[in-house]
Chain A
Amino acid sequence: GENVEQHPSTLSVQEGDSAVIKCTYSDSASNYFPWYKQELGKRPQLIIDIRSNVGEKKDQRIAVTLNKTAKHFSLHITETQPEDSAVYFCAASIHASASKIIFGSGTRLSIRP
C-alpha cells in the first residue's frame, strides 16, 4: 500500500541537545521527501525537503538524510531551542494515476529548558 510511517510520536529533549525523527515509505518510486513544522494552532509550513538524487541536505541547524535502498529518511535538529517545540510531519510523493503527497502521522517535539 501507499503509506508513510513516522517515529516517534512524541519526543522530549533537553535544550541544546539534538533531536532525530525517522520516517519510512512504501512506494519505491517516491522521489520527493518534504518535512513540515506545525506550531500550535497554525498551519503546517515547509522547513526542508530532499529529492531522491541527494543523500543529505542541510539548512543551518536542520538536516535531512535519505536512504533510498532502505526506503527511510530522517530529520535531524541540532542545538535545539525552545522555538523548535512543535509537531513535525514527514511526507513522500506517491506516484499513482497522478502524483500526490502523503504525510506521516507526526511527531510532537518538546524542548525542555
Chain B
Amino acid sequence: NAGVTQTPKFQVLKTGQSMTLQCAQDMNHEYMSWYRQDPGMGLRLIHYSVGAGITDQGEVPNGYNVSRSTTEDFPLRLLSAAPSQTSVYFCASALILAGQTPENEQFFGPGTRLTVL
C-alpha cells in the first residue's frame, strides 16, 4: 500500500493564480481531511469529508474548495491564491466508526509546501 500520497511536493504561485493540490489514499478510508500547518499555529482543519459526495468546512475554509467524487481522492482547490495561503498542506485519512465518527488513527500524507508570492 502506498498509504496517503500528495502531489506536488513543492509549488510556487503568484497572487491570484489558482491550482489544485492532489491527495489520494489506497486504504479504503471513508474519512479524509485537509490541514494547513503554519509556524506556531499547529494543524488547522480546512475541509473534511466522511465519504464520497459528502464534504464539510473545518476551521479555516475560506479561499479553498474541495470535492469528493471517489473514496480514494480528495483534491483541494485554491481559487485565487493569496500570500496568506503560504503554508505546508497535509492531507490525512482515517477509518470511520459507526455514526460517521473518525475516531481512529489519521494517516497523513507527506505534505505540500506552497509559497504564494
Interface residues as binary, A9-51 with B (CB distance below 8 Å gives 1, 0 otherwise): 1000000000000000000000110100000000111100101
> B43 touching A45 by the CB < 8 A rule?
no
> A105 touching B90 by the CB < 8 A rule?
no
Among listed B21-29, B53-61, B62-70, B75-83, interface-contacting one: B53-61
Looking at the complex, which one of A6, A31, A95, A103 makes contact with B44 (CB distance below 8 Å)?
A103
Determine the distance from Cα of A52 to Cα of B104 in the docked complex, in whole angstroms.
13
Please indicate the chain B residues that have their CB under 8 angstroms from the CB of A34 in the complex: 105-106
Looking at the complex, which one of A43, A101, A106 makes contact with B33 (CB distance below 8 Å)?
A101
Looking at the complex, which one of B101, B105, B109 makes contact with A49 (CB distance below 8 Å)?
B105
> B41 touching A100 by the CB < 8 A rule?
no
> A89 touching B100 by the CB < 8 A rule?
no
> Which residues of chain A (56-105) have a CB below 8 Å from chain B?
89, 91, 93, 95-105
A44-B90, A49-B105 known; A103+B35 contact, CB < 8 A: yes
A43-B90, A105-B41, A106-B42 known; A98+B50 contact, CB < 8 A: yes
Top 3 closest pairs, chain A to chain B, by CB:
A32-B103, A105-B42, A43-B108
Name the residue of chain A whose CB is nearest to the CB of B55.
A98
Chain B residues within 8 Å of chain A by Cβ, number: 27
CB A99 to nearest CB in B, in angstroms, measures 4
Chain A interface residue number, banded: 20 to 34
CB A35 to nearest CB in B, in angstroms, measures 11
Can you list 11 A-B pairs with a CB-CB distance of less than 8 A?
Answer: A2-B59, A31-B103, A44-B43, A46-B105, A93-B102, A95-B101, A100-B45, A101-B45, A101-B106, A103-B44, A106-B42
Please indicate the chain B residues that have their CB under 8 angstroms from the CB of A103 in the complex: 35, 42-45
16 other contacts beyond A43-B108, A89-B43, A101-B94, with CB at 8 A cut-off? A9-B40, A43-B90, A43-B110, A44-B108, A45-B108, A46-B106, A49-B105, A93-B103, A98-B54, A98-B56, A99-B102, A99-B103, A100-B33, A100-B56, A100-B102, A101-B102
